[in-house]
Amino acid sequence: MNSDRLKIGITCYPSLGGSGVVATELGKLLAEKGHEVHFITHSVPFRLGKFHKNIFYHEVEVNDYYVFKYPPYDLSLASKMAQVAKMEKLDLLHVHYAVPHAVCAFLAKEMTGCDLKVITTLHGTDITVLGHDESLSDLIRLAIERSDAVTAVSQDLIRETRELLDINKQIDLTYNFVDKRVYYPRDVGMLRRDYARPDEKLILHISNFRPVKRIGDVVDIFAKVNEEVPSKLLFVGEGPELSKTICKVKEMGLTDRVIFAGKQDDVAQVISLADVMLLPSEKESFGLVALEAMACGVPTVGSTAGGIPELITHGTTGYLAQIGDTRQMADYVIRLLCNPELYEAMSAACLERARKTFCNDLITAQYEQIYYRVLGRS
């Protein structure tokens, strides 16, 4: 097995979002394994946390020259990537989310003139939403075709990328992962009392409140569950649909049963408070939050969109229904919450599946193998 120490540049969206979380966690794990990791982003990735040996951060500053109506962030990023690659003698750039990162990496590679390798990880909406945009699709195809390796976080995303962009290139499957040292069932007995009474169940939804998450369905499912099982709904995160959701909760007379906690850092702690996670998305290439819940022993009830069925085994680690079928999803939640034996079995199956299939050690090793392969060192 190859153990060469690599110099890796990572670019991602550093603020809230699954792709940024995965990129940052991967960088931390690679650094722990002795690789030198250089984050090249517009701000410090929010999950980076404390000081880490082997991790370096290079801030992209946008040129705000007065003739620019729109400051060209993409060009500043490409230039910074090339500069860091030359200065630090990087072996490769690993970019997360195709737009604009894979395009910038392609430009940076051209600028360096050296044998810098580019690995692009597709995360979801970079293909499933932006791939439909004619002003971007040719650019995304170019960036994918010119990458030295392309990975995607589910089989479903690989299929959609091939079909939508007419791409034949090899795309490696690298599922998202969770760090087992962070995501495990926490003892949160005291804290839970602040959110729900002992006789109430706690239902959780965490997202960036984008329309694809179908937050209205979350409220509808909860309302149906609450008619039969006394419950509270906890929302974590924020985004474009937040105000609409607050209005809907008010209109449905549920204000005293719904908590909006905003962005939270300690997601494993929050998840451990909950009995069920809801993920009724319209599009979801993977659903990292459902994996985080699974690793904490919390089953997810959600939709069959995109890659969710690859993550959640229907009837074993959660339940899935057609997109928009809030009645069926509510019935599944009620079944779980009213049947303690079923719940225990499902919770145990969640822990086992998260550890076996989506463990950090396994997926980090898969990424390393891809790096060594493109560098011709496997």
Using CB under 6 A, list all residues that contact ligand GMT.
Answer: 13, 17-19, 22, 97, 123-125, 128, 153, 176, 208, 210, 212, 283-288
Of 25 and 275, CB closest to ligand GMT: 25
Query: In whole angstroms, how close is the CB of 260 to ligand GMT at the nearest point?
Result: 19
* Helix or strand (DSSP H, E) at 8: strand 7-11
Residue nearest ligand GMT, CB atom distance? 124
Query: In whole angstroms, how close is the CB of 306 to ligand GMT at the nearest point?
Result: 6
Of 12 and 229, CB closest to ligand GMT: 12
Q: Is 200 helix (H, G, I), strand (E, B) or coil?
A: coil
Of 204 and 212, CB closest to ligand GMT: 212
Report the amino acid identity of residue 172. Answer: D
Query: In whole angstroms, how close is the CB of 267 to ligand GMT at the nearest point?
Result: 13
Q: Which long-range contacts (CB under 8 A, 24 or more apart) does 167-172 make?
A: 167/141, 169/144, 169/145, 171/122, 172/366, 172/370
Query: In whole angstroms, how close is the CB of 288 to ligand GMT at the nearest point?
Result: 4
Of 39 and 231, CB closest to ligand GMT: 39
Of 101 and 257, CB closest to ligand GMT: 101
Of 35 and 210, CB closest to ligand GMT: 210
Instruction: Measure the CA angle with vertex 97, ends 213 and 263; round to 5°.
Output: 45
The tokens for 217 are: 């369905």
E strand spans, 228-269: 231-236, 258-260
255 CB burial (10 A radius; 0-12, 13-18, 19+): exposed
d(CA 324, CA 33): 43
Query: In whole angstroms, how close is the CB of 308 to ligand GMT at the nearest point?
Result: 8
Query: In whole angstroms, how close is the CB of 20 to ligand GMT at the nearest point?
Result: 6
Residue 92 near residue 117, CB atoms below 8 Å? yes
Of 54 and 360, CB closest to ligand GMT: 360
CB atoms within 10 A of CB 184: 16
Query: In whole angstroms, how close is the CB of 341 to ligand GMT at the nearest point?
Result: 31
E strand spans, 208-265: 231-236, 258-260
